[in-house]
Every structure is written in C-alpha cells, then in structure tokens.
Amino acid sequence: MSILPIKKEILDYYKSIPKCELHAHLNGSIRENTLRSLLKANGTTISGHIFDSYHNRTLSECFTLFDLIHKVTNSTEVISKITREMLEDFSAENCKHLEIRTTPRSLRDCTSEEYVDLIIDEIQNSHAVKSKQMNVSLVLSINRGSHDLNDALRVVEIATKKRIVSGIDFSGNPFKGKFADFLPAFQLARKKNLKTTLHFAEKMDPQESMKMLDFVPDRIGHANYLNTEIRERLLKMKIPLEICLSSNVATESVKSYQLHHLSCWVKNDYPVVICTDDLGIFRTSLSKEYAFAEQYTKIPRKLLTQIAKKSFQYKFPKLVLPKLH
C-alpha cells in the first residue's frame, strides 16, 4: 500500500467536523509505538523495514503485523491499555460515536466473558465517555476462521448479558467457514434484539453473498467483489455499507484510492459510512480516510460532509453511560 500525501487544509477540515466510526477493530487499532514496546518487552525482533515511517507496507507485512498483534495482546493489562488508547485516538479525531469491534477471547489471565467486561470498564471510565464528548458501544465479532457454531452462540450469549453491546459482527478469514454454518447464531442475535453487521463480499463468492443478503443484515462491510446481480440487488435493498478505503487498498482488494468503488456508491445515492477498519495496521485515522476520499476519489467536499452527517443514522442504537458511583 502506498502512503499517499494529504493536503493539510483538507485534513484539517475533516478533523474539524463531527464524525461517526462504525467499523473499527480493537486489536488492529493498536498504536504503532505501543506495538513496538510490546514486541520489545516480549523479546521479538522484526527484520526489514516494517516500522519505517517512509516505507510502503506490503500486503504480506500487514498480515505479519496481524499475527504479531494477536501474540502480544495476551493479557488484561495490554487489552486495557490498547482500549484506552483507541478511545483517546478516536476522541482526538472529533469522533462523536464509536463502535468498537472485538472477538471475545480467553487470555492468560481472564475468560472470554471477563475480556468483554474489561473492555466495557475501560469504555465506561474513559474521559471521552464521562464528559459526553463521545458515545461508545461494543460490537462482538464471530470469527468465521476460528469459531464453530457453538462458539458463535456463546458470543451471542455474552452479548445479550452486556447492556452496551449493540450488535454482532461476522468477520475473519473470508476463505474459511461459510456464513450458512453460522446463520443460527445470527438469527438468535436478531431474536435477542441485537443488530447485525457482516463482512461482505471480501472474495468473489456470489452464492455466499446472496445468502448474506437473504438474511438482510442491518449493515455490511467492504463489498469489494460483486457481480452485476448482487450489485443490482444491493442498490434496491440499500443496506448501509461500511467503506474502508485504506484497508481495501492495502489488502489489494481495490487497486488504488483513485479506483475505489466508493465513488460508484455515492453516485447512486447509496447509504455509506466511511470507516478505518484498523488504525494501526493501515496507518490511518478517521479524518485521513475522509481526506483520502476527497483528494483521490474526487468526491466533492459537500457530499463527503453530508456522508459524515448521515453516518450517525446507521449506528446501532445502544449508548454507553458512565458508571454511577
């Protein structure tokens, strides 16, 4: 992925406007300095130029970072730290509503449910939430690459217990697992009044994409590989779409910012939300994603400002309130 320059005036404008983030993964949003420190503390050395600020990170290096992050975010102390920093980073970007995505998992010192409670505590005690500068909710992810149906049902069970969990996400390696195998978990989530969002069309698989649309999720993410039939169906259904430009370019799902399909959706007045996916992995921010859209897709600022305003309409409903003492 090329690290493209952004004009200061454009970036400053998007930092100034209120924004809504609806597709941000906790572990992938780790600060680069924090990851460096954790790797050093674990005695892990990295060869090459993966942390060179002038180096264009390759696809293989992105996946190397995903693996490294998972290995070092293995304690409650670390999860607390990266949650606090993520909240600080989004608040600094003038983000007024944030949905944090994460897969419940056991760490060396906590269970998967305690993992969720830990993140909730950090959210509720954050300055941004207490001061009402930012609303935050949690979306729990079902991982198609590592979960089976029982695991997925357990994620839904945990979600129903936590008042700030607003939805369930379907994510993970798109080349593993099938949505149909997890459908009962998403049907249960809907029955329990949890919203649903699906990582959608991350590979060319029209049959699975159709099954996802048959379910009619509340939102979808990415939509990079569509045939004509699926595209036409989406245009009729108008399911809000989470767009992650830098992520799509870095993972080579889209050839460049200039050729990103965001422009096509905007031309069709389709409901879209501009998001980050993973702040740390893709070296981005919410303001940068809007700035990339203006500078490289040539979508007018007026339209992008309207997209930012409309994004709040597509958030999942539950809000976090500070703890009462």
The residues assigned a catalytic role are 202
Nearest by Cα to 281 from 55, 46, 57: 57
Render the burial of 112-139: b for 16+ CB within 10 Å, e for the rest.
beebbbbbbebbeebebbeeeebbbbbb
Beta-bridge partner residues of 239: none
The answer to whether residues 170 and 198 touch, using CB atoms and an 8 Å cutoff, is: yes
Beta-bridge partner residues of 139: 101, 167
